[in-house]
Amino acid sequence: MSKNSGTKVYVGMSGGVDSSVTAALLQEQGYDVTGVYMKNWSQDLPGMVCPWKEDYQDAKRVAVQLGIDFKMYDFEREYRERVVDYMLDGYKAGITPNPDIMCNQEVKFKLFLKTALADGADMIATGHYARTRDGQLYTGLDGNKDQSYFLYRVTSQALSKSLMPIGEYEKPAVRELARKFGLSTAEKKDSQGICFVGKVGIKEFLQQFVTTEPGAIVDRSGNVLGEHDGAIFYTIGQRHGLDVGGGLPYYVIGKDMNTNEVYVTTDLDDSQLWSQELTLSSEHWITNQPLINKEYYVRTRYRAPLVKCFVSRSAYEAELVLDLEEEVRAVTPGQSAVLYEKDASGMRDSYRVVGGGIVI
């Protein structure tokens, strides 16, 4: 008998290949697996039908193939309040929030975990490319797909009740496992765009919920170069979506929500495009606070390389300051900076996530 038999695991199944393989692997390892589809969003948008019904059916089909119980949890109201409203408020304030991070913090590893445990589960599992051990979070084996950046606000208590089995695999191997298990989602393409709406882009989504006015695109010399359709849509370092004339490409270096102006430059070395010091608010540490003058690594956006850094001020003060060994490009207020340290546990090719905070 497997050491895992009798341990009830509720797997968040989105209808994609990663969560499908997660369920299959845990079943193979002897766990008592139940699949759960989280209905977070069902609203159609102009020109875009929300794919939730299709995703639900794909998840259910895999559950039937595996012969496991299957449920749906309706979190739509809570999702709107905790994730969507948070995102909309951030954009209205002129920053660039990350709804995926908030979704993990508030829905998957808080609401889903609490609901599943109350429903009889011993643990939950997700299809994230990351690894957990003893209430700690580590990078996934596949450096290109590693999703630990999005998970830094999950608590140690939640991590101790969570499994992420595909963190031990690279993406091509996960596809191969799906084929080996004969799963109906084996060739399904990965979803793109916002975490909960499917293929719709962030601009198209925001346009349904915020009112914007055209405004000026202004260069370093104060020259008006053109017109934008709302400062809310632009973020630091952005190149595309600027309807200004030929020549060198322009990059966004700032914006003023009060005057509704977007500021741009053609100079890739412009000081406002680069940062070597970051100030963080809303810190979250999985266990302990980072130590002053200890060497850490920071990631300033998903898939960005790890950059060596030092904490120059105590996290017990109002704000945390990170001094980076090299400049990083296009650090944007509202985004997260995540701290890592080299893993001493012997886990292959991994870094431990210390925690992080919101860039201000």
User: What are the residue numbers of the active site?
Assistant: 103, 195
Q: What tokens were used for 253?
A: 């270096």
For the four alpha carbons of 265, 269, 271 and 275, in that order, the dihedral sign comes to: positive
Q: Which amino acid is at 37?
A: Y
E-assigned strand segments in 86-172 = 123-125, 130-133, 136-139, 162-163
Give per-residue burial for 135-145: e unless 16+ CB within 10 Å, then b.
ebbbbbbbeeb
What's the CA angle centered on 358, arms 132 and 110, to 5 degrees? 45
What φ, ψ does residue 211 adopt, rounded to 5°? Answer: -95, 130
Q: Which amino acid is at 297?
A: Y
Nearest to 152 by CA among 167, 136, 134, 163: 136
CA–CA distance, 261 with 259 (Å, rounded to integer): 5
For the four alpha carbons of 114, 288, 276 and 93, in that order, the dihedral sign comes to: positive
Enumerate residues 6+ apart whose C-beta is below 8 A from 357: 280, 281, 282, 283, 284, 320, 336, 337
For the four alpha carbons of 292, 295, 301 and 302, in that order, the dihedral sign comes to: negative
Enumerate residues 6+ apart whose C-beta is below 8 A from 180: none
**Residue with token string 């900076």:** 337
The residue count of the chain comes to: 360
Distances (CA, A) of 127 to 15, 108, 271: 11, 11, 39
